Amino acid sequence: MSQRPTIADQPSVMRTRGWDDYALLDSGAGRKLERYGRFRVVRPEPQCLWTPRLDDGAWKADAVFDPADEEDDGRWRFTERPPESWPLAWGEARFLGRFTNFRHLAFFPEQAANWAWLDERVRQAGAPRVLNLFGYTGVASLVCARAGAQVTHVDASKKAIGWARENAALSDAEALPIRWICEDARRYVQREARRGSRYEGIILDPPKFGRGPGGEVWRLFEDLPELARLCAELLSERASFLLLNAYAARISGASLAGLLADRLDGRGGRIDWGELALVEEGGEREIGLSFFARWSA
């Protein structure tokens, strides 16, 4: 008999430690010092309330993001003009780092914990069909495709789709089964539900606010419940996973888990939940950056 999914009793912290092309070098006083390939970068991080471990000299960086009053707004300062992009890698996935206008560098390093989990789930599922919604620059899509998935990558930004295709070319992944769709995620899912399309895995990583190519407005708290319901409809009988991630101060892993349990009622399985964290070099401190809930059959 099918049953409601079991929600884990305790939250999990999915920790990302540095790798060859990324490291959290130090943090404190509302900032974090990171290394992206050959570039040392300083970005604001208000929750770093502690004192930096390294001295001021160690905080000299190639790029510093100066925030403005509005969230994510501001500008970069460089010691010298940087390239438009430069190559980075995580496992078999290769992608380009970029200094974007939104303080990040065209990918989110803390997501490496999710990439490792997705790689494992896809390999266990055996050539699953995976839908990646709000897929941005496509690192998760590349990880899944490299692991054997047939991936449909959806993002409303034409620029992001272009960057994702560049990352695929850099990864020699152009021949892998990835469909690149520039469309509002909600509209795409609605159409797929009408068509009766099915997937064995879904990645859902929505922003707090966004606009589709046709002017569609996305608001996380208002629109996520309905999108989660539609995603549940798209899961096949042999579905393996649904991963939900969110960056929003007013949300929690527990609330995301509750939403998935409600929408996946009758499927059984397990829902783990918690937050993603970056671990500083030395392993003594970590920064929680996003919340997740993930269902596995």
For 136-185, the pLDDT digits (tens) are 999 999 999 999 999 999 999 999 999 999 999 999 888 899 999 999 99
For the record, the structure tokens of 24 come out as: 């959290």
| Dihedral sign from CA coordinates of 217, 220, 224, 226 | negative
For the record, the structure tokens of 190 come out as: 């609605």
Q: Phi, psi at residue 272, to the nearest 5°?
A: -100, 150
Q: What share of the chain is helix, strand, coil (3-state, %, to 5)?
A: 25, 35, 40
Tell me the percentage of the chain whose pLDDT exceeds 90. Answer: 89
> Are 63 and 76 spatial neighbours (Cβ–Cβ below 8 Å)?
yes
Fold of 22-84: Immunoglobulin-like (2.60.40)
| Dihedral sign from CA coordinates of 190, 193, 195, 201 | positive
Query: What does the pLDDT read at residue 22?
Result: 98
Q: Domain 6-16+91-95+104-296's class?
A: alpha beta
Burial status of residue 224 (CB atoms within 10 A of its CB: 0-12, 13-18, 19 or more): buried
| Dihedral sign from CA coordinates of 157, 159, 163, 165 | positive
Tell me the percentage of the chain whose pLDDT exceeds 70. Answer: 98
- Kindly indicate the confidence band of residue 249, based on its pLDDT and cuts at 50, 70 and 90: confident
Tell me: the pLDDT tens digits for 65-107?
A: 998 765 667 899 999 999 999 999 999 999 999 999 989 999 9
For the record, the structure tokens of 198 come out as: 């099915």
Tell me: the pLDDT tens digits for 105-135?
A: 999 999 999 999 999 999 999 999 999 999 9
Q: Helical H runs in 59-148?
A: 112-125, 139-146
Domain range annotation of the chain:
6-16+91-95+104-296, 22-84
Query: What does the pLDDT read at residue 215?
Result: 83
Q: Helical H runs in the chain?
A: 112-125, 139-146, 158-170, 185-195, 220-234, 253-263
Burial status of residue 293 (CB atoms within 10 A of its CB: 0-12, 13-18, 19 or more): buried
Tell me: the pLDDT tens digits for 51-69?
A: 999 999 999 999 999 987 6
Tell me: the pLDDT tens digits for 211-222?
A: 888 888 889 999
pTM over 0.85: yes
Query: What does the pLDDT read at residue 254?
Result: 98
**pLDDT mean across residues, the chain:** 95
